[in-house]
Amino acid sequence: MLRTHTCGELRTDHIGQQATLCGWVDTYRDHSGILFVDLRDRYGKTQVVFSPQSGPQTLAVAKTLRAEYVIAVTGTVAARPEGTENRNLATGRIELRAEKLEVLNRSRTPPFQPGAKELPSEETRLRYRYLDLRRQPMQEAMLLRHRMIKLIRDYFDELGFVDVETPMLGRSTPEGARDYLVPSRVHPGTFFALPQSPQLYKQILMIAGYDRYVQVARCFRDEDLRADRQPEFTQLDLEMSFVQPGDVMDVIDGLMARLAGQLLGLELQLPLPRMTYDEAMQRYGHDAPDLRFGLELVDVTDVARECPFQVFRAAAESGGRVRGLNAKAAASRYSRKGIDELTQYVVEDFGAQGLAWFKVDAEGQLASPIAKNFEPGQLARMAQRFDARPGDLLLLVAGPWDLTCRALAGLRRRLGRELNLYDPKQMHFSWIVEFPMFAYDEQQGGWTAMHHPFTAPRPQDLPLLKDDPGKCRAQAYDLVINGVEAGGGTIRIHDTDLQQEVFRLLGIDAQRAQERFGFLLEALQYGAPPHGGIALGIDRLVMLFGRLDNIRDCIAFPKTQRATDLMTGAPSEVDVAQLKELGIRIDR
């Protein structure tokens, strides 16, 4: 080894000992011919002192050092002079008094300093990712990810799960997002697909009798990206035989308790709370509600149906809803301009027609420009329904059910943040269960799967598949952490006839089902056990446990929102010879 210790290792116990450190020059200061260098590696920082006692040659080389030079320094560990200790550093009570210096590699002037407090643009960080990864917060995120995956593997090993790798090159199947396709040179005109998930393979493993499967799996989806999505991502994938939804959720409850305890020092109360999809939409307008704060939605459609205010009345009479929330003690917080900004938010971001509001005055009366459109009794009923108190701010949206859900859920999140209704360091874990099996696609005029086509309906809802599919509930469950869907799972269909019936409802005819899923349908006829599982997004888990705002900050080499790698320049053009060998011609 070139070094005897890391840059975060030396303590007062080492005083008087010789040590050799290797690392990057973080900062350097020249004080009247004595040079102080903070030497950094991923373990920490150590102050190195170059003085005349270091020798003229060593001191001369030290004066050529610049930020991000890679050096090896040998010297004697000494106590820092009294009054110069740095209590913010684990090594802050000692320094290395240099006797020998070797420059292992020089650095150009970096576009940004990894130790600087001011961050450059994200584009610059991604372009020079190797410099960005030297920053302490990035290294902490990568170490958190490492520790999390280690804990995950150990936990599932203790429970008897078998880690099985599934193929990267598979068959293209319609599972929602676009596939990334890989042309086959050996079979011209045909393509492999990179896995959107190991869904079909893990079901096959259950049919094969492996009973408990787990994998830290790489997945790929060619979809339009959002801030919290990547074209390639990592998920914790698992499947179990002979289980019901509660069995899978219990296993994940234990995992979350293990991770929260080991990584955050938090003790979770198990089982984690569970809420049905219908209840979540009624109370919070979203299927992944942030339960760190209340601010529940209130439905006043019955009052609106009787009032003269045309906007409310029209929405109620047309089958829509009038719903809102009570921002407690927030009337003074939002001026008319502030309310206009909230109105613009729900209109532009969620398509609402507007935002009605009432402030509760000192006498408990609802005050608003639209108050004159209501009878006193109607205002009193609304005040009672919202549990209105002096100083409260009532905000309401009228329109179709889905629109009120979207707009008020977004408004609720914004108010929770702006009004500091929760501690950002707080963690809340919960389950949302009993999702609808299907959603109706107005554009295509047919049913789509809420989760995926292999989800089993609740046994008591089986008759609804033929009578009323929209009311059929699935054996589905999502893990929600701080208002973010951390993962989702279902009990799978293990009966061929039922699987074909679900395909039919989804518009997948027998021929297409055989072409795309024939191997699964055949396997189900060879003694498939009841089975189910879940997939958790590891990138999201690290983001949430690390209390990070951006999922790209917990991925070593992420893509931009346009699915490009700024560091390597991917995707890129390839040689014409490669395309010819694959039988591909580019039409521009």
- pLDDT (tens digit per residue) in 270-314: 999 999 999 999 999 999 999 999 999 999 999 999 998 999 999
Question: CA 558 to CA 552: how far, in whole Å?
Answer: 6
Domain boundaries, the chain: 12-105, 139-275+430-554, 293-421
pLDDT at 73: 98
At residue 1 the predicted structure's pLDDT band, cuts being 50, 70 and 90, is confident
- Interacting residues of 520 by C-beta distance below 8 A, sequence separation 6+: 200, 203, 204, 454, 499
At residue 444 the predicted structure's pLDDT band, cuts being 50, 70 and 90, is confident
Report the percent of the chain where pLDDT is more than 70.
99
Place of tokens 């984690």: 272
Whether residue 381 contacts residue 309, with contact meaning beta carbons closer than 8 Å, is answered with no
- Interacting residues of 335 by C-beta distance below 8 A, sequence separation 6+: none
Whether residue 238 contacts residue 214, with contact meaning beta carbons closer than 8 Å, is answered with yes
At residue 177 the predicted structure's pLDDT band, cuts being 50, 70 and 90, is confident
Question: CA 361 to CA 358: how far, in whole Å?
Answer: 9
Name the token pair of 542. Answer: 């690290």
The DSSP bridge partners found for residue 441 are 446
At residue 225 the predicted structure's pLDDT band, cuts being 50, 70 and 90, is low
Average pLDDT over residues 328-332: 96
Residue 183: asked if its preceding bond is cis (omega within 30°), the reply is no
Which residue intervals of 237-335 are DSSP H helices? 245-259, 277-284, 301-306, 310-317
Half-sphere exposure (Cβ direction) of 462: Cα atoms closer than 13 Å: 8
At residue 234 the predicted structure's pLDDT band, cuts being 50, 70 and 90, is very high
Going by their DSSP bridges, the two strands 34-41 and 70-79 should be labelled as: unpaired
At residue 574 the predicted structure's pLDDT band, cuts being 50, 70 and 90, is very high
Query: pTM of the full predicted structure?
Result: 0.93
Average pLDDT over residues 499-521: 91
Report the percent of the chain where pLDDT is more than 90.
90
Question: CA 100 to CA 565: how far, in whole Å?
Answer: 41
State the CATH architecture for 293-421.
2-Layer Sandwich (3.30)
289 three-state secondary structure: coil
Assign 3-class secondary structure to 489-521: EEEECCCHHHHHHHHHHCCCCHHHHHHHHHHHH
Place of tokens 């995120």: 141
Question: CA 400 to CA 340: how far, in whole Å?
Answer: 22
- Better-scored residue on pLDDT, 443 or 500: 500
pLDDT at 476: 97
Question: CA 366 to CA 326: how far, in whole Å?
Answer: 12
Average pLDDT over residues 232-245: 97
At residue 176 the predicted structure's pLDDT band, cuts being 50, 70 and 90, is low
At position 547, the amino acid (one-letter code) is R
Tell me the angle at which helices 336-350 and 401-418 cross, rounded to the nearest 10 degrees: 130
Question: CA 448 to CA 458: how far, in whole Å?
Answer: 17
Is the model's pLDDT at 330 over the cut of 70? yes
Which stretch of DSSP H or E encloses residue 235?
A: strand 232-241
Query: How many CB atoms lie under 10 A from the CB of residue 298?
Result: 18
| pLDDT tens sequence across 84-132 | 999 999 999 999 999 999 999 999 999 999 989 899 999 999 999 999 9
At residue 229 the predicted structure's pLDDT band, cuts being 50, 70 and 90, is confident
Q: Lowest-confidence range among 330-339, 342-351, 579-588?
A: 579-588
- Better-scored residue on pLDDT, 228 or 584: 584
Residue 577: φ, ψ to 5°? -60, -40
Name the token pair of 326. Answer: 């009570």
Is the model's pLDDT at 175 over the cut of 60? no
Strand extents, DSSP E, 32-174: 34-41, 44-50, 70-79, 94-105, 162-163
At residue 173 the predicted structure's pLDDT band, cuts being 50, 70 and 90, is confident
> Could you tell me which CATH class the domain 12-105 is placed in?
mainly beta
For 139-275+430-554, CATH number out of 3.60.15.10, 3.30.360.10, 3.30.70.3450, 3.30.930.10 equals 3.30.930.10
Is the model's pLDDT at 46 over the cut of 90? yes
Is the model's pLDDT at 75 over the cut of 70? yes
pLDDT at 354: 96
Residue 347: φ, ψ to 5°? -75, -50
Which residue intervals of 260-335 are DSSP H helices? 277-284, 301-306, 310-317
Question: CA 250 to CA 238: how far, in whole Å?
Answer: 13
Whether residue 479 contacts residue 487, with contact meaning beta carbons closer than 8 Å, is answered with yes
Whether residue 284 contacts residue 483, with contact meaning beta carbons closer than 8 Å, is answered with no
